[in-house]
């Protein structure tokens, strides 16, 4: 067997170890990992707690958005009803879509990842517990404030797609639209934090021996899910930023009279918006692929094909965004491309469906609640997929688009593809977190009510759409043959509501949270999350030799529990987990993990405050919150990146691992690279906006900045990158003064400031203002993005200087300095590309 | 007051399964084909699932294995989808074929929440202005130039063609055709804020001779009777927003009323046009179509409202 890191796989044969483990090890683990009590539980960062809070909050938003839907269905039950006034209805449907997509579906999938992944991978926790806590609390406070806007009539009313010009200042002068832009813009940050956590967690904290092909299929789904967030979300982050700039400062990105274009928003929105559907579907599909083998009591048929399907879905889904724009008068060639791609994306879905069918055929399925939900989801999803193929046919879409046919289609896809699998998963995995499993008897009722209700609600909507009923209407006229169908649909909606209510009752009766004394492996799953666990996850971390280790090694649970595998104790007396290599999961080093801290919570509160208070235009308070948020983040970081006494420790069976690691194999490096990918994607979308607007309205491109200024800007950025790299180099040298790296880094950041400063100055001299035209808006937009990076680099310079002063930048290599250098080099590159690109058009 | 229960916009129901011309017709054919495809594939999946769960052991054995995934999940969909794609794209091409250059052209501009209609001559100049209603001759294509003056709207008359968006700063071209005389209802399909739900449209197709007679009548100058209604129309400010050809009422913010008396509907396709609804609309359009841009005129006494209505009914 080949090795990836030089680790000798023969060492795995030392496990399970012989002999009794010393007394007190388990007690020490429990002491180290125990959660704070009482109010201080809010400072908990362990994934068992954060994950459970997270799932609970996402479910709360599901119920809230569902209640909005029920009220809307009452309004539409009969023609010309006055139960919901027009404006309220418009706010309700906007909130229903927005909350379901941004506050329920995506967070729920991340929440389940936080809860399940460490257990499935037998890691002690996710690699950045405080980041998870921050992401959760930011989402919690931000989401609740956002939702509360509906009680004050201030909820957004421009639809979840927020098309300008309707959402521009001229047609939406109130702060409703700002709630959407700032509220959602900020929840996206939380989603990205979660994605970074998941990518690094899946690739670097798997149990030793869990090579990629032995990785649970759910981890594959989550990996693709997180990668899609990293690629897709930047587009909407940039979009919300541009629209808010247009609203607040009249930068005309979307105003066709000044060289903007409303279609730019649609491109940015759907480049995120369509992959979003698969972002929601893939993790749910991963959950089903985990459950079906257990429920059918056999191995998953075609696991490799499913992994390929995940990858293909992720890839193709970024080539289909324009199928939401078939009715905008697109050129015929692009229509053909997007139509073909939209059909192609259904092939990977077919692979997954037939894999589940085949697995059921091989096994002996038990008809318990998770099975019913999985089957109900499959049938519903197939119908949604088929109507999806129908609307991928462009001429048919010209009729169906923006009609109730689409309402039916998308609910079939999302409820069949995500909601039913989610309920299956809740029934299946709750015994892992609760003293009692949920009730099978109630569960079957829940299923049948939801399943029948779903079909009764949404199937008739296909007909409504083909009979000419448009979407997003607060009422309709009688005499159009829509009355009876709408009434039936409303009856169905309440049937679903009844099912969900019954589920809540089931939860209240049976769900009793516990991390260790849980109901256990009720359904007989074969993957690692069903090992006996405490807050520290498993007592020892097993060597993984197959995809379903619990089925293949009956002694595994006992040996793990008796500490006969990796890390049966705490080697350093701190929270820790084993970081393994990305492909073959060979142990590389021991990561020291941070414990409970109130700083992520405070940082989240102030971040939420910054955005929410900004919407009501109390700028002083908003900026005060922003500064406090930065202080809290820096404070939480301050404790991290410290050396422990022991350079290497015994992680079991005499295998020694280092306790500190720098450079490209450290988890911090990986997280920074993912973060830089996000930043780069935002930059790519900004460059796209610039080139796109130039292509649409070249006649507005009149001003030109001095090209000779490049002779100053480019050297400044080059100096920034060079000095940053030099600071890293000098740290490794024995002879230099201890303060040299810090000083060099500060100089590097000064050069960055000089670069962006000269660039701004030369554009201001050209006479172009951001409000002048689409050119001005996009040029200053690009410069603003670079300014944000430079601002962050300035914060880093202060942080590095402070750590340097306290002798925390330790030779020869230090992660804090490494990562700041990495960021600075990137910022210099982006600055240089910005300076060149903005001067290319018009070429005077 | 909401529109009375008996009131519906003219031209409804308007199902896509009852097409009135070739553009909608070929999509209807495609729709039936797609529905048959969807039903067929769904049946295949259901049967496979049934066998997997309850079937004979021998059949289950044949179903269990990656071969099933290759056949059911890859080969079968690729064949079905390729066939559909080829057919769909050829249909797209036919539907997007340029219509004859001498076809009749009409510019329709989306407004919050009504439609401005301008019949164009061969040079693209407006020869007749109207609102919310379009008259066309049967049996020939009519080219619509779709524009918007505020936010994005979408023009959709299901029995005549698919929908096409009206986007500020752009002009989209949509050919429609009716092959039988009749009234065809439509409605804005892109959410445009406020009373988007009540932004309807009516297309009326006539035999060519009748169509030409209507248009000819519109071109002959009409004799205006000076009366109380006409005075009130001016003195209460109607003329600030509405235009009536041949008078000094020249407002362009609201729908052109030169032919309002001949329209089949009021309030952008949501009320039948008769004396009662006309008086009701002028007096309090806000209770019929909340949020529309016309203020309520509740302060006008009933006889004044009736006089204005009489005047408007005469504008054929």
Interval A169-227: pLDDT, tens:
999 999 999 999 998 888 888 899 999 999 999 999 999 999 999 999 999 999 999 99
CB contact (8 A) between residue B191 and residue A305: no
Task: Please report the pLDDT score of residue B133 as a whole number.
Answer: 96
Q: Do domains B104-207 and B228-313 have the same CATH topology?
A: yes
Which residue's entry shows tokens 């204005």?
Answer: B308
Contact between residue B186 and residue B149 where contact means Cβ atoms under 8 Å apart: no
CA distance A163 to chain B (A): 8
Across the beta sheet with B200-206, the strand order is: B133-137, B200-206, B182-187
Å from B97 to nearest chain A CA?
A: 11
Domain-terminating residue out of A510, A536, A561? A510
Q: What is the mean pLDDT of residues A701-712?
A: 90
Determine whether the interchain pair B66/A358 forms a contact, defined as Cβ–Cβ distance below 8 Å: yes
Q: How many domains does chain A have?
A: 2
How many percent of chain A have pLDDT more than 70?
100
Specify the 3-state DSSP secondary structure of A281. Answer: helix
- Residues in chain B with CB shorter than 8 Å from the CB of A394 are 88-89, 92
In the predicted structure, residue B2 carries a pLDDT above the cut 60: no
Record: contact A166-B191, CB cut-off 8 A: yes
pLDDT digits (tens, 9 = 90+) for B200-223: 999 999 999 999 999 999 988 777
B26: chain A residues, CB-CB within 8 Å: 395
Calculate how close chain A gets to B156, using CA atoms only, in Å.
8
Strands B133-137 and B142-148: unpaired
Nearest CA to A540 out of A519, A521, A559 is that of A559
**B164, closest residue in chain A (CA to CA):** A327
Average pLDDT over residues A421-436: 96
Q: Which tokens is A130 given?
A: 């405080």
Asked whether residue A738 carries a pLDDT value surpassing 90, the answer given is no
Interface test with B, best of A94, A161, A306, A357 (most B CBs within 10 A): A357
Predicted pLDDT of residue A398: 95
Q: Could you report how far apart the first and last alpha carbons of chain A are, in Å?
A: 61
Using pLDDT thresholds of 50, 70 and 90, give the confidence band for residue B4: very low
- A509 Cβ contact list (under 8 Å, min separation 6): A439, A442
Strand ranges inside A58-99, DSSP E: none
Cβ-defined contact of B52 to A361 (cutoff 8 Å): yes
Residue-level pLDDT at A183: 87
Contact flag A301-B66 (C-beta cutoff 8 Å): yes
Contact A238, A258 (CB under 8 A): no
Task: Give a yes or no: residue A553 inside a domain.
Answer: no
Is A329–B13 a contact, with Cβ atoms under 8 angstroms apart?
A: no
Whether the CB-CB separation of A201 and A123 falls below 8 Å is answered with yes
Q: Nearest Cα to B12, choosing from B212, B209, B156?
A: B156
Sequence spans of domains, chain B: 22-95, 104-207, 228-313
3-class DSSP state of B22: helix
Give the residue among B234, B229, B238 at the shortest CA–CA distance from B285: B238
From residue A765, give the alpha-carbon distance in Å to each of A437, A707, A758, A768. 69, 12, 10, 8
- For residue A47, give the H/E element and its range: helix A47-76
A356: tokens are 């589940």
User: Minimal Cα–Cα distance from B8 to chain A, Å?
Assistant: 6
What is the rounded average pLDDT of the residues A318-345? 88
Helix (H, G, I), strand (E, B) or coil at B298: coil
Residues in chain B with CB shorter than 8 Å from the CB of A180 are none
In chain B, what residues touch A355 (CB-CB under 8 Å)? 69, 73
CB-CB under 8 Å, B38 with A481: no
Task: Supply angle C-alpha B233, B239, B241, rounded to 5.
Answer: 135
Note whether B16 contacts A475, CB cutoff 8 Å: no
Contact B89 A382 (CB under 8 A): no
CA distance B244 to chain A (A): 28
Residues A97-109 have pLDDT tens digits of 999 999 999 999 9
Does residue A251 have a pLDDT over 60?
yes
Work out the angle at residue B184's Cα, subtended by the Cα atoms of residues B183 and B190, and round it to the nearest 5 degrees: 150
Q: What's the mean per-residue pLDDT of chain A?
A: 94
Interface contact flag, B30 A163, Cβ < 8 Å: no
Q: Examine residue A275 and say whether the peptide bond preceding it is cis (omega within 30 degrees of 0).
A: no
Is residue A173 situated within a structural domain?
yes
Per-residue pLDDT, A1: 54
- CA dist A579 and A585 (Å) reads 8
Q: Average the pLDDT over A155-159 and give the result.
A: 95
Using the beta-carbon criterion (under 8 Å), do B30 and A395 form an inter-chain contact? yes
* Largest pairwise CA distance in chain B: 91
For residue A469, what is the domain's CATH number?
1.20.210.10
Q: Nearest CB to A402: which of B84, B154, B172?
A: B154
Q: Nearest CB to B168: which of A90, A262, A395? A: A262
**Among A386, A389, A396, whose Cβ lies nearest the Cβ of B31?**
A396
B183 - beta bridge partners? B204
Domain span at A814: 700-838
The answer on pLDDT for B3 being more than 60 is no
Q: What is the mean pLDDT of residues B65-75?
A: 92
Do A389 and B69 make contact, defined as CB atoms within 8 angstroms?
A: no
Contact (CB<8Å) B13/A481: yes
User: Nearest CB to A346: which of B81, B158, B290?
Assistant: B81
Residue of A655, A659, A550 lying closest to A17 (CA atoms) = A655
Q: How high is the ipTM of this complex?
A: 0.96
Last residue of a domain, one of A510, A530, A554: A510
CATH number, domain with residue A807: 1.20.120
A794-832 pLDDT, tens digit each: 999 999 999 999 989 988 899 999 999 999 999 999 999
* Domain end position, chosen among A510, A530, A551: A510
pLDDT (mean) for A661-666: 93
* Token representation of residue A200: 């690094």
Name the one residue in this structure whose structure tokens are 């280790």: A549
Q: Which pair of tokens denotes residue A548?
A: 């379903």
Q: Which residues of B fall within a CB distance of 8 Å from A166?
A: 151-152, 191-193
The third-level CATH classification (topology) of the domain covering B104-207 is Immunoglobulin-like (2.60.40)
Q: Quote the pLDDT of residue A700.
A: 92
pLDDT value of residue A176: 94
- pTM of the full structure: 0.96
- CA A311 to mean position of chain CA atoms: 17
**Chain A residues touching residue B2 (CB < 8 angstroms):** 80, 82
Architecture of domain B228-313: Sandwich (2.60)
Across chain B, mean pLDDT equals 92
């Amino acid at each position: 067997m080949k090795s990836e890191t030089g680790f000798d796989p023969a060492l795995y044969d030392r496990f399970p170890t012989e002999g009794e483990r010393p007394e007190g090890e388990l007690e020490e683990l429990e002491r180290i990992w125990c959660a704070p009590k009482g109010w201080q539980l809010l400072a908990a960062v362990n994934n068992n707690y954060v994950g459970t809070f997270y799932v609970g909050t996402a479910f709360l938003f599901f119920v809230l958005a569902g209640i909005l839907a029920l009220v809307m269905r009452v309004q539409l039950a009969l023609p010309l009803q006055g139960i919901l006034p027009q404006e309220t209805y418009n706010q309700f449907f906007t909130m229903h879509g927005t909350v379901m997509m941004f506050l329920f579906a995506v967070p729920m999938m991340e929440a389940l990842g936080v809860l399940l992944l460490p257990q499935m991978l037998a890691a002690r926790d996710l690699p950045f517990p405080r980041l998870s806590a921050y992401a959760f609390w930011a989402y919690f406070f931000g989401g609740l404030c956002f939702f509360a806007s509906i009680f004050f009539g201030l909820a957004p009313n421009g639809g979840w797609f927020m098309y300008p010009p309707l959402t521009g200042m001229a047609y939406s002068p109130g702060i409703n639209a700002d709630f959407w832009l700032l509220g959602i813009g900020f929840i996206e940050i939380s989603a990205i934090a979660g994605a970074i956590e998941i990518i690094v967690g899946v690739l670097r904290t798997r149990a030793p021996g869990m090579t990629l092909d032995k990785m649970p299929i759910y981890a594959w789904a989550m990996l693709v899910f997180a990668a899609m967030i990293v690629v897709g979300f930047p587009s909407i982050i940039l979009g919300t930023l541009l629209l808010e700039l247009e609203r607040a400062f009249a930068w005309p990105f979307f105003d066709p009279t000044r060289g903007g274009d409303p279609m730019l928003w649609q491109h940015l929105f759907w480049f995120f918006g369509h992959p979003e559907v698969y972002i929601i579907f893939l993790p749910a599909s991963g959950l089903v692929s985990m459950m079906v083998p257990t429920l059918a009591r056999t191995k998953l048929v075609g696991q490799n094909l499913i992994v390929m399907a995940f990858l293909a879905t992720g890839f193709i889904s970024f080539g289909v965004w324009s199928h939401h724009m078939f009715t905008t008068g697109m050129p015929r060639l692009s229509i053909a491309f997007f139509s073909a791609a939209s059909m192609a994306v259904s092939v990977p879905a077919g692979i997954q469906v037939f894999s589940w069918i085949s697995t059921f055929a091989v096994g002996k399925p038990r008809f318990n609640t998770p099975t019913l939900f999985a089957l109900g989801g499959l049938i519903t999803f197939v119908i949604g997929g088929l109507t999806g193929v129908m609307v991928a046919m462009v001429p048919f879409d010209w009729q169906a688009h923006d009609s109730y046919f689409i309402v039916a289609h998308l609910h079939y896809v999302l409820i069949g593809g995500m909601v039913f699998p989610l309920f299956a998963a809740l029934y299946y995995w709750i015994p892992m977190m609760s003293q009692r499993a949920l009730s099978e008897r109630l569960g079957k009722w829940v299923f049948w009510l939801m399943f029948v209700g779903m079909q009764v609600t949404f199937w008739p909507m296909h007909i409504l759409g083909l009979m000419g009923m448009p979407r997003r209407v607060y009422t309709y006229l009688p005499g159009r043959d829509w009355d009876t169908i709408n009434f039936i649909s409303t009856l169905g909606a309440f049937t679903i509501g009844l099912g969900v209510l019954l589920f809540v009752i089931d939860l209240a009766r049976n769900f009793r949270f516990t991390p260790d004394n849980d109901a256990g492996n009720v359904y007989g799953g074969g993957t690692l999350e069903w090992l006996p666990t405490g807050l520290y996850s498993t007592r020892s971390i097993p060597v993984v030799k197959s995809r379903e280790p619990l089925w293949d090694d009956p002694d595994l649970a006992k040996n793990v529990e008796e500490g006969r595998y990796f890390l049966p104790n705490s080697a350093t007396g701190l929270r820790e987990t084993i970081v393994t290599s990305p492909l073959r999961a060979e142990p590389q080093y021991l990561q020291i993990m941070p414990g409970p801290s109130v700083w992520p919570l405070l940082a989240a509160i102030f971040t939420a405050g910054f955005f929410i208070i900004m919407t009501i235009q109390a700028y002083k308070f908003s900026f005060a919150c922003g500064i406090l948020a930065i202080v809290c983040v820096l404070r939480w970081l301050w404790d991290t990146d410290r050396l422990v006494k022991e350079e290497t420790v015994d992680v079991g069976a005499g295998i020694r691992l280092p306790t500190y690691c720098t450079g490209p194999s450290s988890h911090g490096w990986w997280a920074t690279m993912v973060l830089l990918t996000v930043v780069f994607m935002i930059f790519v979308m900004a460059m796209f906006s610039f080139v796109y607007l130039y292509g649409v309205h070249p006649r507005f491109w009149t001003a030109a900045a001095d090209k000779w200024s490049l002779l100053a800007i480019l050297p400044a950025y080059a100096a920034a990158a060079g000095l940053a790299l030099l600071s890293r180099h000098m740290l490794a040298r024995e002879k230099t003064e201890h303060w040299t790296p810090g000083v060099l880094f500060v100089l590097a950041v000064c050069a960055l400031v000089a670069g962006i400063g000269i660039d701004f100055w030369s554009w201001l001299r050209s006479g172009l203002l951001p409000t002048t035209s689409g050119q001005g808006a996009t040029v200053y937009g690009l410069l603003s993005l670079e300014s944000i990076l430079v601002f962050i680099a300035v914060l880093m310079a202060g942080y590095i200087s402070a750590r340097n002063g306290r002798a925390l930048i330790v030779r020869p290599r230090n992660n804090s300095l490494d990562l700041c250098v990495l960021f600075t080099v990137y910022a210099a590159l982006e600055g240089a590309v910005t300076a060149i690109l903005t001067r290319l058009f018009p070429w005077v | 007051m909401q529109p009375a229960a008996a009131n519906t916009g003219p031209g409804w129901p308007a199902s896509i399964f009852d097409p009135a011309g070739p553009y909608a017709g070929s999509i209807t054919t495609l729709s039936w084909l797609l529905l048959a495809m969807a039903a067929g594939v769904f049946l295949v999946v259901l049967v496979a699932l049934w066998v997997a769960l309850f079937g004979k052991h021998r059949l289950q054995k044949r179903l269990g294995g990656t071969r099933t995934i290759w056949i059911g999940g890859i080969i079968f969909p690729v064949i079905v989808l390729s066939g559909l794609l080829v057919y769909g794209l050829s249909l797209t091409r036919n539907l997007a074929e340029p219509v004859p250059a001498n076809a009749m052209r009409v510019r329709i501009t989306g407004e919050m929440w009504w439609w401005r209609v301008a019949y164009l001559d061969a040079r693209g100049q407006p020869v007749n202005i109207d609102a919310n209603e379009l008259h066309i001759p049967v049996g020939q294509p009519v080219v619509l130039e779709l524009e918007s003056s505020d936010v994005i709207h979408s023009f959709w008359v299901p029995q005549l063609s698919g929908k096409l968006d009206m986007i500020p700063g752009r002009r989209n071209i949509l050919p429609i055709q009716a092959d039988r005389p009749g009234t065809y209802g439509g409605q804005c399909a892109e959410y445009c804020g406020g009373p988007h739900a009540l932004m309807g449209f009516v297309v009326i197709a006539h035999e060519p001779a009748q169509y030409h007679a209507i248009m000819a009548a519109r071109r002959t100058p009409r004799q205006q009777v000076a009366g109380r209604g006409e005075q009130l129309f001016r003195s209460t400010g109607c003329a600030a927003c509405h235009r009536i050809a041949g008078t000094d009422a020249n407002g362009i913010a609201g729908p052109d009323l030169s032919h309002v008396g001949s329209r089949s509907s009021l309030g952008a396709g949501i009320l039948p046009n008769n004396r009662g609804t006309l008086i009701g609309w002028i007096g309090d359009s806000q209770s019929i179509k909340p949020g529309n841009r016309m203020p309520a005129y509740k302060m006008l006494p009933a006889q004044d409202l009736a006089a204005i209505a009489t005047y408007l009914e005469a504008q054929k």
